[in-house]
């Protein structure tokens, strides 16, 4: 049975999204980036991921969907729940333990687990709808990814490769 999504829930989530956007804008105005409100922000948007994960994993079971599509949505939901768990653990490290950047941490496992779960769900959807992907499409996607990754790494991210950091 398809869950009936109440308009109140939609308004609640929309309100939460608006609050998080305003919160994010305000956080950018604060010069110190290690305040309690910065740490708590992760818990705020973990709520949005968790709603998608709960719906995708536990509540979506429409009879008009094929078994493969239902599995795909479940894997995507599990990926979102994994990301949620990573965010909550990250907030716990920040707020309860007072660790600014918990690296490496248990949260990293959940962040990494998100990728195969979400990817498997998307792969199942692609397989189900038999989207024709030619060799040209694959090359274009690969080139776009490589160019975006290099641009991000060299010009935007600019990591600090100091001797104190471990190689991993």
At 92, is the pLDDT very low, low, confident or very high (cuts 50, 70, 90)? very high
Q: Is 138 within the bounds of a domain? A: no
Q: Is 69 within the bounds of a domain? A: yes
| pLDDT value at 61 more than 50 | yes
pLDDT in tens, 114-135: 999 999 999 888 887 766 777 8
* Contacts of 51-54 spanning 24+ positions with Cβ under 8 A: 51/13, 52/77, 52/80, 53/77, 53/78, 53/79, 53/80, 53/81, 53/82, 53/83, 53/84, 54/81
Q: Is 86 within the bounds of a domain? A: yes
DSSP category for residue 156: I
Q: What's the chain's length in residues?
A: 168
Q: Domain span at residue 84? A: 7-130
Q: Is 135 within the bounds of a domain? A: no
Q: Is 141 within the bounds of a domain? A: no
- Structural domain tally of the chain? 1
Q: Is 24 within the bounds of a domain? A: yes
pLDDT in tens, 68-81: 888 889 999 999 99
CA distance 5 to 73: 17
Q: Is 49 within the bounds of a domain? A: yes
Q: Is 48 within the bounds of a domain? A: yes
Backbone angles phi, psi at 140, to 5 degrees: -60, -45
């Amino acid at each position: 049975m398809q869950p009936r999504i109440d308009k109140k829930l939609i308004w609640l989530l929309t309100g939460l999204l608006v609050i998080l956007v305003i919160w994010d804008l305000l956080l950018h105005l604060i010069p110190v980036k290690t305040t309690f409100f910065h740490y708590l922000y992760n818990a705020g948007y973990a709520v949005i991921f968790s709603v998608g994960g709960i719906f995708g994993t536990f509540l979506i079971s429409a009879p008009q969907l094929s078994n493969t599509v239902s599995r795909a949505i479940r894997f995507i939901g599990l990926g979102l729940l994994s990301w949620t768990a990573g965010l909550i653990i990250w907030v716990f490290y920040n707020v309860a333990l007072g660790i600014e950047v918990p690296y490496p941490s248990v949260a990293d496992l959940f962040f990494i687990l998100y990728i195969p779960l979400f990817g498997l769900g998307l792969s199942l959807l692609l397989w189900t709808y038999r989207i024709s992907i030619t060799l040209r499409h694959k090359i274009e996607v690969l080139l776009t990814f490589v160019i975006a990754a290099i641009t991000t790494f060299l010009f935007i991210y600019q990591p600090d490769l100091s001797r104190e950091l471990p190689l991993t």
